[in-house]
Amino acid sequence: MPDQSLPQARPHGSAEPEPAADGSRGLSRRALLGTAGATGLALGAAGGAVGYAAAPAQATPLTSVGANRAMFHGKHQPGITEGLQARGHLVAFDLVAGAGRRQAAALLRRWSTTAERLMAGEPAPHDDTAVARDAGPSSLTVTFGFGHSFFGRTGLEKQRPGALDPLPDFSSDHLDKARSDGDLWVQIGADDALVAFHALRAIQKDAAGAARVRWQMNGFNRSPGATAHPMTARNLMGQIDGTRNPKPADADFDKRIFVPASGEPAWMANGSYAVVRRIRMLLDDWEKLSLAAQEAVIGRRKSDGAPLSGGDETTPMDLEKADAKGAYVVPVNAHARITRPDRNGGAAMLRRPFSYHDGIDADGTPDAGLLFVCWQADPLRGFVPVQRKLDRGDALSTYIRHEASGLFAVPGGAAEGEYVGQRLLEG
């Protein structure tokens, strides 16, 4: 879990009206957010009995979160540079037996149409479930990628990028192959759980007959507005997590995160590579540590994320500072020390994770941790060198376990009239 901070920008936009049953343009989910009070019912009580009373004709919207909209078409796919979303689903698919390039192209065309509509706050194009009809777009993003095995199954081996070679084995891996890799990968994120689920269900239904779900994982982050001002996220260990993330304003951001327009293969221009890791946190062991011991493992104060060498969260870490006994204030095996880009040949990646909690095991151990998602122009220069270094002596490794893994090529954004991956599948 490299120590980097997250961009917080959220795009805004407007949604088109959704079609009514008679084919006319009715209210969009976004419009309903602000007008629900005019036709809705409010729960009330009278004489000890609970009943329903008409809401005021001019209701004031409770929040603007539902109205926030990310754009589907663009230079890059959505879901990469946007801020953390409150709810997420990661799902991998395998093509069904007999499905090849033609079926994959038709599927990506369907998925792109569905994603564009849902991200605009409109219903799915086919058999919409109405799960999210009362909400706006809620910053919904849907992102698509291709796994290593996809190219062999579609006869496109010559178009497989070298950067998509399988990740090396790491000593900390305890990987479940059934929950790793996949032909196709979809990342769904939103600031409303029903909006995210609605998209997940629509994407799954679109895949019928062409691809089947290989694995699916559900995650969450803090809800927008839960803190008085924007803050770097905390993980389930209680640590501020993401302090040194690359930012779009950085001069070398695009170079580190995105494949250049002139890059190879050509269909990956303006795309990125996503490494996905399900990292279980051994919370029972972690929570037995004293506060001082936890901070020594990370190399930062738990309260505010400041380095143990002093200052605040954004203060550069003084790796040479020693205490009265001559010991480094930031321990040599502290997670934050090991993951610094300047200690890894400048290797950097954009972290955009979700926390997860999948219940309690039979022995009472929580199955919880981090759905680690990181983005980089080349995983062999981003994720791999950092993870190799962590593998050799990160103090945090005692308290985490990597249980699933995947690497996916995520092409650039679709232009108007295109679907995601069209340059690969029709090139």
Q: Catalytic amino acids?
A: 241
Q: Helix 101-119 and helix 193-206: axis angle, to 10°?
A: 160
CA–CA dist 43, 68 (Å, integer): 27
* Residue partners of 117: CB distance under 8 A and separation at least 6: 123, 124, 125
**Conformational region of residue 393, where left means phi above 0, alpha means psi within -120 to 50, and beta covers everything else:** left
CA–CA dist 14, 70 (Å, integer): 10
Which candidate, 252, 268, 249, 250, places its Cα nearest to that of 260? 268
From residue 263, how far is each of 68, 143, 269, 407 by CA, in Å?
33, 21, 6, 19
- What count of Cα atoms within 13 Å lies in the side-chain half-sphere of residue 155? 11
Which of helix, strand or coil describes residue 111?
helix
Give start and end residues of each alpha helix (H) in 163-309: 193-206, 253-257, 283-286, 291-298
